[in-house]
Amino acid sequence: MDVADLLHQQGEIARISTLIRRGASRAAIARALDDGRVRRIMPGWVAGNGADAEQISTVRSGGRLGCISALARWGVWSGDDRHPHIAMPQHGRRRRPQPNDGSTTQAVTHPRSKSKATSRPRVLLPARAHWGILPRKGDLDWIISPAEALRQAVCCQELEHAVACVDSTLRLGVLSAADWDDIARGLPVSRRECVPLVDGRADSGLESRVRVRLIRLGHAVETQVRVPGFGKIDLLIDGRVGLELDGDAFHSTAEQRQRDAEKVLTSMLFGLPVLRAGYAQAIDDWDLVYEALTRMLQLTPARELSALAL
């Protein structure tokens, strides 16, 4: 097999020993290096021209992408933290990261990711190290397994971010409910608060975060609730007010905005008031969103969803 193609299957960066184990010869690797299709990034390691700066910096530092940096490569929602997160072996010694050498600014996705979501490499801020992760069979050389990455993220991130990571991992099918149960059983007591808050039906990280906030404020919150004649609403609060959360990725075109407007108008015909909030409003102006929601709850009597149909 062509060395560049084999390297692409490994996520654009790998140990030379891995390529040889996968069927490449040393002579073929040498030819690929000579003709520029592959480059040596440190002793024993090579990268394709598509490798990104975060991958290369991580490998040169002596670790592998971990935590939210690893989850992002599976297309999983991975929070607002822009620090690179690196998994380091228990007895490793982190070397000084190398500066960006002109590698692409588009993050390489995991070769087995089914998601089309992309991310940008995390390279501008100092790395955060997670110590003690040992290689597992089947992992790529530059990134830890999604199960290990999720375990790290739950222990590393604030509660609403941690829950959003788990929700996204389950919704995308990167891990199964059984995988999550195994991870949850091994969590330290201090991090188990997230377990009852997880809901793999959540459609976005923003939805997960707002749901967690509302539950902690004492509200009953249902996710992706189907309403007769209306479709689904992101969140149903206390059984009587809907909340739609508009992430930029899915509400940016004229057609999408028209659909959103029709959804709100239709909901009012069926007696279900629905508030809408964008990402910036929900995250940066939460007090306003919550005050509006509280007022709408005060004005709206409780009704059964089945009674909303004409």
The answer to whether residue 30 scores a pLDDT higher than 70 is: yes
The answer to whether residue 248 scores a pLDDT higher than 60 is: no
Cα 59 to Cα 94: distance, rounded to the nearest angstrom: 10
The answer to whether residue 247 scores a pLDDT higher than 60 is: yes
Cα 58 to Cα 226: distance, rounded to the nearest angstrom: 44
Q: What is the mean pLDDT of the chain?
A: 87
Section 57-65 average pLDDT: 92
| Alpha helical stretches, state H, 186-276 | 205-216, 254-269
pLDDT tens by residue, 187-231 = 999 999 999 999 999 999 999 999 999 999 999 999 998 876 667
DSSP state of 146: H
190 φ, ψ (degrees, to nearest 5): -65, -15
The answer to whether residue 96 scores a pLDDT higher than 90 is: no
pLDDT tens by residue, 255-268 = 766 766 676 666 77
Per-residue pLDDT at 158: 95
Mean pLDDT comparison of 102-106, 107-111, 195-199, highest-scoring range: 195-199
Q: Is 157:165 a contact under the CB 8 Å cutoff?
A: yes
The answer to whether residue 249 scores a pLDDT higher than 90 is: no
Section 138-156 average pLDDT: 93
Please measure the distance between the N-terminal and C-terminal CA atoms of the chain and give it in whole angstroms.
Answer: 63
Count CB neighbours of 69 within 10 A: 32
**Percentage of the chain surpassing pLDDT 90?**
66
User: How many C-alpha atoms does 71 have within 13 Å on its Cβ side?
Assistant: 33
Longest dimension (CA), the chain: 75
The answer to whether residue 45 scores a pLDDT higher than 90 is: yes
pLDDT tens by residue, 1-15 = 799 999 999 999 999
Cα 14 to Cα 143: distance, rounded to the nearest angstrom: 10
